[in-house]
Amino acid sequence: MHYGHLPEGKFVWLSEYSETEIMTCLLSILDFYNVFFIDSNGAYLKYSQIFKNFTQSRGFHISNQGHIADVFIELKDQKLFQSILSNVEINGIWSGKLMFIRGSSSYFSEAQVRIMCVNGFQHQNPIYMLLFYRDDEARSAEEEKWKELAYTDELTGLSNWRKFREKLSAIKKERESFGLLFIDIDNFKEINDRHGHIVGDKFLKLFANRIRESLGEKMYAFRKSGDEFLVIVEEGEQTEQAAKIIKRRLSDDFIIGKSVRGVSVSIGLSIYPSCGIDEESLIHHADKEMYKEKMRQSN
User: Which residue numbers are catalytic?
Assistant: 227
Closest to 282 (Cα-Cα) out of 273, 292, 291: 273
Which residue, among 135, 149, 182, 208, has the nearest Cα to 294 in the 3D structure?
182
Report the amino acid identity of residue 12. V
Q: How far apart are CA 261 and CA 196, in angstroms?
A: 16
Helix (H), strand (E) at residue 178: strand 178-185
Greatest CA separation for the chain: 85
Residue 100 CA to residue 72 CA, distance in Å, equals 5
Q: Which residue in 130, 117, 110, 114 sits closest to 67, CA to CA?
A: 130
Q: Enumerate residues 6+ apart whose C-beta is below 8 A from 222.
A: 153, 158, 159, 160, 161, 163, 164, 167, 229, 230, 231, 232
SS3 of 241, please? Answer: helix
CA distance 262 to 199: 15
Q: Is 196 helix (H, G, I), strand (E, B) or coil?
A: coil
